[in-house]
Amino acid sequence: MFINAQMDSSLIQYLTRAEVPDLILLISSMIVANSLLIICSEFFLLKMMASMALESRIQIGLLLLAASQLWFAVNPLDFTWGWIGAVLVMSLAEAILFPTMNVHIDRLAPAHLRGAYFGAASFYSLGFAIAPLLGGFVLDHFGGFWLFMTASLLCFVVIYLYRILPTFKRPNFDDVALEK
């Protein structure tokens, strides 16, 4: 959520500080493009990707999210269609990632711990709360390029973590349930 929240907070700060021409029109266009693409493509994308493993869908979504952050990092300030294009790529990532992550958590969780898993997963909303603060700090000290490069790098870290996730030994929750 931290990476996705950069659009709602830090990207707006960045564009405002840079005094991008027609800022209000640009921001409203990005929001409309984001909303329309998600509404129009989410079910189609999920249907199209239904035969893929959840982990593969998550990795594709993360790659798209990383690509959008790289695009934000290198897009010229006055290239309006570039900003909208980066938002569209990010929107595709959202349309894939958000529903897929919930299904993944549901499948990971043992039945008697499902509520705890979803509760723990809701900590992702901390990223949404922290994004304006950390994003603003990075903007102040390093600039927009490094903010979005860092967000892209974080996507690759998460991709790596998803890749190694199957190698971790999971506890046997059935034994815990039987002991009660």
Amino acid at 121: A
> Residue 65: how many CB atoms within 10 A of its CB?
25
One digit per residue, the tens of pLDDT, for the chain of length 180 reads 678 777 888 999 999 999 999 999 999 999 999 999 999 999 999 899 999 998 899 999 999 999 999 999 999 999 999 999 999 999 999 999 988 877 777 777 777 777 777 777 677 777 778 888 899 999 999 999 999 999 999 999 999 998 898 788 876 766 655 555
Contact 118, 105 (CB under 8 A): yes
**What CATH number does residue 155 fall under?**
1.20.1250.20
Choose among 128, 96, 122, 125: nearest CA to 10.
128
> Cα–Cα distance between 127 and 4 in angstroms, integer?
9
Q: Which 8-state DSSP code applies to residue 170? A: P
Domain count, the chain: 1
User: Structural domain of residue 156, as residue ranges?
Assistant: 2-179
> Residue 95: how many CB atoms within 10 A of its CB?
23
